[in-house]
Amino acid sequence: MSKSMIIIGGGIAGMTAAFRLKKAGIKVTLLENNDRLGGVLYSHQEDGYLAELGPNSILETSPLVTELIQDIGLEEDKVYANESSKVRYIVRNKKPVPLPTSPPAFIVSPLFSFLAKLRLIKEPFIEAWDNRYEESLSQFVIRRLGQEFLDYAINPFVAGVYAGDPDTLSVKHGFPKLYALEQKYGSLIKGQIKGAKERKKRQEVAKQSARMFSFRQGLKMIPDRIKDLLGSDVQTNISVKAINKKGDTWEVHTIDSEGKEQVIPAVGVLYTGRITDLHHIEIDGKIPDEITEMQHIYHPPVSVLVLGFRRDQVQHPLDGFGVLIPKVEEFQILGVLFSSSMFENRAPKDHVTLTVFVGGTRQPENAQKSTEDILALALKDLHTIIGVNGKPTFVHHTYWQQAIPQYNVGYGQYKDSYDHLEETYPGLYFAGNYRSGISVADTIVNSEEVCERIKKINRKAREEESQRAQR
């Protein structure tokens, strides 16, 4: 049996890597322990509704993201979010208020008090942190912007994107670009202005300005297309028990859903599965201490409730991306996306689709409730916030027991562990949302970067082999 690069995990990181390495002429085998590829990219169509059960969109923050979509042949199926989705609402005093997106809008916005706006003037004159200890995001924001910005800008954003808590998230590791602005420029405001030129040189776009896209049939079109392109290089319903290195060859021990065991020879192994599942795999006959420690990375539970309504059941114009909810407002849901306003053909005619997020670090117990209980608390909050009335015409509930890795204070030790494992076991690599950012775009970029390292090592090995043959 010829050796290939074994990729463990069929989420977006594994799919990206398998496609890129195969395109570079490297034989690959992608192993997935479920019956489908995609991981959290999971779209469901029923009764005219298109429900995203995980991420709802991808941000075009890097040319690597754009190139991947073009190279797998999905450019013509890509749909950009409607212009109205640039409007984000934040709840204040139990009602949605537009988040200001320009200095004039900020000045007149009722979202922040006069004192909070005045406090912002101080920001460029506050000294940069001297790193005497690692700050949480809350500490960072309070120091530079004040409590009100934490409560009504950062807290709801973190709950909606990370399902996390700014009191525990590390600003250095969870929000490295924000951290870097202060370290390099001494100010967030100065950094936003000066950093824009550097991003332009790198062909990168800030997340707040990046275009948001999906596909005509939802994000599931990515795994569907890549699976077709990989063909027989994909094996599903396969679990990995152990990986061992013997000389220049890795042996990957697998077991399928029927209990059949197999040993697959490999030139290398790329692990792209969930990091908390890694402790099920022995490496050279043991579980390294670093991997045991990775079990402490917190992944809060999140429930995603996709709801359909007749348009006349919702009083709010739904003219935006959705509503994020600060902790201080004391609601039971984290936020709601106006899914059918963001993209066309997400609901039947004269109906709308709303995607509600529940649980996370803020209220993990809510995510674990039954569909009926979650629906009840969601409908109560939606009635208050956007004027939803009556029963939904469509309900789809997805429970993610371990949703998103939390880059909490001290997360640097885990990043060091990934590097140390790769140094200790040459030919073993790691890529995923636990390494360089949690978004789909971040994960694609991380996977592409790891693939470049693999390709470079592969080229060097081929050159050395060719030189030996010529002697």
The position carrying tokens 């029923």 is 46
Domain residues for 176? 112-210
Q: Of 368, 400, 432, which residue constitutes the final position of a domain?
A: 400
Q: Is 105 within the bounds of a domain?
A: no
The span from the CA of 362 to the CA of 264, in Å, is 43
The reply to whether 225 and 291 lie within a common domain is yes
The reply to whether 134 and 63 lie within a common domain is no
Per-residue pLDDT, 175: 93
The CATH number linked to 329 is 3.90.660.20
Give helix 188-201 / helix 176-185 axis angle, nearest 10°. 110
Q: Is 374 within the bounds of a domain?
A: yes
CB-based burial label for 355 (10 Å; 0-12, 13-18, 19+): buried
The span from the CA of 126 to the CA of 120, in Å, is 10
The span from the CA of 381 to the CA of 362, in Å, is 16
pTM above 0.75, yes or no: yes
Q: Is 252 within the bounds of a domain?
A: yes
Q: Give the distance, in angstroms, between the CA of residue 239 and the centroid of all CA atoms in the same chain.
A: 24
Q: Please choose, from the candidates 57, 50, 43, 42, the residue with its C-alpha nearest in 3D space to the C-alpha of residue 348.
A: 50
User: Secondary structure of the chain: what % helix, strand, coil (to 5)?
Assistant: 40, 25, 35
Q: Is 99 within the bounds of a domain?
A: no
Nearest 10 degrees: Cα torsion 334, 336, 342, 343: 110
The span from the CA of 184 to the CA of 256, in Å, is 51
The reply to whether 287 and 304 lie within a common domain is no
The span from the CA of 374 to the CA of 178, in Å, is 34
The CATH number linked to 238 is 3.50.50.60
The span from the CA of 31 to the CA of 452, in Å, is 21
**What does DSSP say about strands 428-430 and 261-271: parallel, antiparallel, or unpaired?**
parallel
The reply to whether 236 and 259 lie within a common domain is yes
Q: Is 137 within the bounds of a domain?
A: yes
The position carrying tokens 């100065």 is 190
Per-residue pLDDT, 368: 97
The reply to whether 312 and 339 lie within a common domain is yes
Q: Of 349, 378, 400, which residue constitutes the final position of a domain?
A: 400
Nearest 10 degrees: Cα torsion 111, 115, 117, 121: -160
∠ Cα 84 38 12 (to 5°): 80
Per-residue pLDDT, 216: 96
pLDDT tens profile 421-453: 999 999 999 999 999 899 999 999 999 999 999
The CATH number linked to 149 is 1.10.3110.10
**Close Cβ partners of 469 (under 8 Å, ≥ 6 residues apart):** none
The reply to whether 304 and 293 lie within a common domain is no
Per-residue pLDDT, 129: 82
The reply to whether 313 and 369 lie within a common domain is yes
The reply to whether 239 and 307 lie within a common domain is no
Q: Of 371, 400, 429, which residue constitutes the final position of a domain?
A: 400
Q: Is 92 within the bounds of a domain?
A: no
Per-residue pLDDT, 188: 84
The reply to whether 305 and 396 lie within a common domain is yes
Helix (H) / strand (E) containing 92: strand 88-92
Per-residue pLDDT, 203: 59
Q: Which residues of the chain have pLDDT under 50?
A: none
Q: Is 89 within the bounds of a domain?
A: no
The reply to whether 287 and 422 lie within a common domain is yes
The reply to whether 447 and 324 lie within a common domain is no
Question: How many domains does one find in the chain?
Answer: 3
272 contacts 265 by C-beta, under 8 angstroms? no
Nearest 10 degrees: Cα torsion 121, 125, 128, 130: -130
The count of residues in the chain is 471
Q: Is 229 within the bounds of a domain?
A: yes
The reply to whether 127 and 60 lie within a common domain is no
